[in-house]
Structure 1
Amino acid sequence: MGDVVRAPWGAYFVTGFDACSQVLRGRTWLAPDFAWQERRADVGHWDAPATREMTRTLARLNAPEHTCQRRSLGNLFDRSTISELTPQVERDVTRLLDELADKLRWGEADFVSTISEQLPISTIGSWLSLPQGDYARILDITHRQVHAQELIPTKSELDVSAEATVQLRAYFTDLIEQRRAQPGDDVLSKWIRTWDELEPDRAMADETLYRLVMFVTIASLETTATLLSAMVWLLLSEPGRWAWLGEHPEHIDAAIDEVLRYDPPIHINSRVAGADTILAGVPIAKDSMVHVMHGAANHDPRRNQDPDAFNILRGGDHLTFGGGAHYCLGAALARLEARTLLTQLLERFPDLRAVAPPTYASRMVFRRVTSLNVTL
C-alpha cells in the first residue's frame, strides 16, 4: 500500500525502512508531548491518568527537557558499565538455568516465567539496588501499566493502567525517600546528587527522579523479556538451527541481531510532525501523528533481501532500538542479557526443544510473550 499509509483515525502508518529511519532520526519529528496534546481538539485516551503519567517520561519528551534529563543520566550502559554488570548477569543466568534444569527433570517448564521475565528484573534490580522481595510486585505492576502505551487502549485497559500507575508512583516515590535517608554508591543515589545540583527546588528534583527511575526500570523489563523468549523460540522452531548455533557460537551476536530484526519487542512507535513536510512523497501536515512500524520496516525487502526468512548469517539492518535522540537507552544491556543467556543455554541444554509455539498477549505496540513451554 506504500511507505506511508493513511490510518482510519487520521494518522499515518509508516512502513518503509528508509521512511521509518527518517522519522526516527529527524529533528523535525517530535514525541507526542503535552504541548502537542494541548493543541488537539479531541484529547481521547491522551487525557487518561496513566497516559498523562507516561507523557512525563523520557520517551515522550522533546528538547530541551529531554536533552537535560538524558544528559543527567550520563551514558547509562557504556563499555565500563557493561563490563561491571557482566559478572552479575552471568551469575543470574546460571542461577536461573539451575532452576530451569530442576523443572525440566519433571518434564516441561515455562521458559517465560522461569527465565525470560526473571533475568531483566534481576539485572535492573541489582543495578538499582532494589529489594529482591519487590521484584514480583514490580513485574506485576509493569504488566498492568503498559496498556496505557497501546495504540488504541480500551476504557477497561486504561482503568487497569490507572491503578497500576498509582502503585508505580507510590513505590518509586518511597524508594527515592528511602535512598535520600540512606544514600550510597548506587546509581539512584548518584542521580539524586546530580539533580540536587541541577534543580534547587527539592520537590521538582524528586519528581524528575521519580520519572527517571520509574521509566528506566519498567522500560527494561517487558521488552527484554520478549526478546529473550522470541530468541529461544525462533532458534528452536527450525530443526537443526539450535544445534548449528551451538556448534558455531561465534555467530551468537549475529543470531541476536536477526531475532531483533525478525520480531522486534516493540512494533509501533508514534511521532508527530513538527512542521508541514513531505514523507516518502506523501504530504504530512504539522501536528499530524505518524506510527513508525518497526516490524514492517525490518521486513522491507529493499533493505533486507528475503525478509521473511530467518537467517542468522544475514548481516542485515533493523530499527528495533529506534534512532536519533530517542535511541534505546538500554540497547547494550539487552544485548548483554541475551548474549549471556544464549551462550549458557547452548552449552547446558543442547537438546532443548519447544513443546508448542509461544502465546502472546493481545497487544499491538508492546509485544509480550506470556508462555513458552520447553522440554528436553
Structure 2
Amino acid sequence: MGEVVPAPWGAFLLTTYDVCDHVLRSKSWVALDSEWRARQGEGNRWAAPASRELGRALQGLNPPQHTRFRRSVGHIFDRATLARLHDPVTRAVDALLDRLALRMRDGEANFAELVAEELPVTSMGLWLDLPPADYPLLRELTHHQVYAQELLPSASQIALSNAATLGLRDYFGELVRERRRKPGTDVVSRWLRTWDELEEGDRDAADEAVYLLTMFLVIAAQETTSTLLSSMIWTLDQHPDQLNWLRGNPQEIPGALEEILRYDAPVHLTTRAAAEDTVLAGVPIAKDQLVHTLIASANHDPARTTDPETFDIRRQGRHLSHLAFGGGIHYCIGAGLARLQAHILLDAVLRRFPTLRVSAPPVWEPRVAFRRMTTLQVVDH
C-alpha cells in the first residue's frame, strides 16, 4: 500500500523501517505535547484529563522541556544501577516461578497473570522503594490509564483512563510528599534534591516535576515489559527447534531477546505530529497532522531484514535491528531494565522448567498500541 498510507481519521500510517526510523529521530516530527493537544480544541479525546496529563509527562515533551527532564535524571538504568538491581530482581523471579510451579502442580497456570504482570511492577517497586502492598493498585491504575494512549479509544475507555489518571496523581503525589517529609537516599528523594536546584527553591514546581517522572516511568515499565515477558514465552513455544537450541546455548539469550523484540514488539505503534508543513516519502503532510509509526510493520520490513517473517534467534547485525524501543530522543528510557528482567526470567525458565509448554493460545486485550496479553496458560509436563 506504500510507505505513507492515509488513514480514515485524517492521519497517516507509516509502514517501512526507514520512514519510521526517520520520523522517530527527526526534529521535524514532534511528540504530542500540551500545546499540540490544546490546539485540537475541546470536546475530543485530546481534551480529556488523561490525555492532557500525558502531554506534560516525559513521553509528551519536546525540546527544550524534554531535554531538561531527561538531563535531570541522567542515564537512570546505567550499568551500575542494573548491577545493583540484578540480585533483587533475580530473587523476585525465583519467588514468582516458585508460585508458578506450585500452581502447575494442579495443571494449567496463567503465566501472564502470575509472572509477567508481577515482575515489572515488582522491579519498579524495588527501584523506587515502593511498598509491595501497593503493587496491585498500581497495576490496575496503569492498565486503565493506558487507554488514553490507544489509537482510537472509545468514550468508555477514556472515562476509565481519566479516573485512573486521578488515582495515579493521588498515589504519586502522596509518594512525593512523603519523600519530601522524610528524605532519604532513594531515587525519588534524589530527584527532589535535583529539581529543588533546577527550580531554584520552588518546591511546588519541583514536586510536580518529580510526580510526572515517577508516574510516567511506572506506567511505561508495566505495560511494555509485561507484554514482552509473556510474548517471549509464547513465541519460543511456537518455535520448538529454536527453543531447544537456546536451552543448550543460554549464553545466546541476549540475541534471542532482540529477535523476540523484533519479531513481536510489545508496542505496535507510536504517534508523532508534523512540526511544520512537510513532505514525507512524497506525501504532503500539514503542520499538526498525525503520523503513526507502525513499529511492528517496520520490524518486518524486507528491505531491512532478510526473510522477516521467519523467527531466527541466531540473526546477526542489521538483520537483528528493530524499533521496539522507539528511537531518537524518546528512545525508551527503561530499555535496560526491561532487558534485565527478560534475561533473568528467560534464563530461569529455561533452567527450572525444561518441559514447560503453552497449553492454549494466548488471550489478548483488544488493543492496538500498548498490547497486553491477559492469559497465557502453561503446563510443565
Where on the TM-score scale, by shorter chain, does this alignment land: which range? over 0.9
Separation in structure 2 between the aligned mates of residue 157 and residue 20 of structure 1, nearest angstrom: 28
Structure 2 CA distance for aligned equivalents of residues 228 and 301 of structure 1: 26
Shift of 1:287: 1.7
Give the 5 Å matches for 1:208-287.
208-287=209-288
Most deviating of 240-249 and 346-355: 240-249
CA shift digits 1:320-376 (9 cap, x unpaired): 111111010000110000000001110110110100111110111100000100001
- For residues 143 and 326 of structure 2, what CA distance do their matches in structure 1 show? 22
**What's 2:39 paired with?**
39
- Shift of the alpha carbon at 1:240? 3.2
Alignment of 1:36-185 (within 5 A): 36-40=36-40, 44-185=44-185
- CA drift of 1:25 comes to 0.5
Deviation at 1:41, TM superposition (A): 5.5
Q: Which amino acid aligns with 2:307?
A: D
Percent identical among aligned pairs is 51
Deviating 4+ runs (over 4 angstroms): none
CA RMSD of aligned residues (A): 1.1
User: What letter is aligned with 1:109?
Assistant: A
Say whether residues 1:348 and 2:358 are aligned partners: no
Letter of the 1:171 counterpart: Y
> How far off its partner does 1:42 sit?
7.1
Deviations 1:229-288 (A, max 9, x none): 000000011233322210111221111111101111111100011122221222222221
Deviating more after overlay: 225-234 vs 178-187: 178-187
Structure 1, unmatched stretches of 5+, are none
Corresponding residue number in structure 2 for 1:13 = 13
Does the 8 Å contact 2:117/2:222 carry over to 1? yes
Counterparts of 1:94 and 1:241, CA distance in 2: 24
Query: Residues 40, 144 of structure 1: CA spacing in aligned structure 2 closer, same or farther, 3 A cutoff?
Result: closer
Deviations along 1:299-318, one digit per CA (max 9) or x if unpaired, are: 11110111111111123211
Structure-2 separation of matches of 1:241 and 1:2: 33
C-alpha contact 2:40 2:46 (8 A) present in aligned 1: no
Cα distance in 1 for residues equivalent to 2:42 and 2:304: 37
8 Å contact kept, 2:127–2:187 = yes
Structure 2: 5+ residue runs without aligned partners?
none
1:54 and 1:285 map into 2 onto residues whose CA distance is 23
Contact 1:169 1:210 in 2 (8 A): yes
Q: Is the counterpart of residue 330 in structure 1 residue 331 in structure 2?
A: no
How many Å apart are 1:18 and its aligned residue?
0.1
What secondary structure is seen at the aligned counterpart in 1 of 2:40? coil
What TM-score do the two structures reach when normalised by structure 1? 0.98
Task: Check the 8 A contact 1:37/1:43 in 2, yes or no.
Answer: no
SS in 1 for 2:270: strand
SS at match of 2:350: helix
Spell out the pairing of 1:177-216 with structure 2 (5 A cutoff).
Answer: 177-199=177-199, 200-216=201-217
